Amino acid sequence: MKTNLNRIIALLGAAFAMNVANATEHPHIKPLQVAADINSVDLLSGKFYPKLPTLGIPAAPRLTLETMQQFDSKITGILYASVDAQGNSTGDRRETYSLTFGGKTSESFTCLSYECKAADGTGSRLLGNMNANSRQFTYTQGSSGIKVRYTQLSSFFDNTGHAYNPKSYEGTWYASQIIYPDGEKIDITYTTAVSGFITHHRPLTVTSNTGYQLELTYQSADTIMPAGLNHQWQSW
């Protein structure tokens, strides 16, 4: 009996020693996303997010201004041709969209026969299409439930008269409203400048339905377009 007890104790001791050795040889490694980089670099994407001074309204924290990209939200979409240059059907109606929101969020969607799905499986949703009676879009962020309405037209190209162009329509719209799950709504107005077929936008006012407004002013009313021509920004 004593011999069996000694054997059991020896086996337990050996198992404990092996577990200690394994813990020493394979330490737990924390995922990168919980490690803050002192240089403000996102270690997963490689993007650099410098820490800048912020302007804020204590009673309206969602109007805090850190970078202009926060309110530079837009969506670009393409409707592909339903037939090729030889007149053969290309299959289901297909649209693709890419959008930005909040300066750091970007997502892409593929829509087949009006059914849109986020490319990265985030659960985000997109409503709207390139039909003439629509061309306004509502994006719902899967992780937060925030809704963004894109209604301010920047550019729209109709290529349906070009048989060899695989794109029927292509357009870009800027955000006009952000709706938060708690009921707060943020409305954005812009100053605009037209260059060729493109209407450029820059934020003018950002207004919350809580009663606060952020108004943005700029040092110059001129903008240098790619063609090197000066155009005046207009309030709109």
**What pLDDT does residue 218 have?**
84
* 230-232 and 222-224 beta bridge pairing: antiparallel
d(CA 153, CA 174) in angstroms, rounded, equals 6
pLDDT at 145: 94
Tell me, what's the pLDDT at 101?
86
Confidence class of residue 161 from pLDDT cuts 50, 70 and 90? confident
What does the pLDDT look like over 98-146, one tens digit per residue? Answer: 998 876 678 999 999 899 999 888 899 999 998 877 889 999 999 899 9
Number of H helices, E strands in the chain: 1, 16
Structural tokens at position 133: 């009676």
Q: CA–CA separation, 34 vs 197, rounded Å?
A: 45
Burial (CB count within 10 angstroms: exposed 0-12, middle 13-18, buried 19+), residue 143: exposed
Residue 150 binned pLDDT confidence (cut-offs 50, 70, 90): very high
Cα distance between residue 178 and residue 188, in whole Å: 8
**pLDDT tens per residue, range 67-109:** 777 888 999 999 998 766 565 666 788 999 999 887 667 899 9
* Whole-angstrom distance, CA of residue 162 vs CA of residue 181: 44
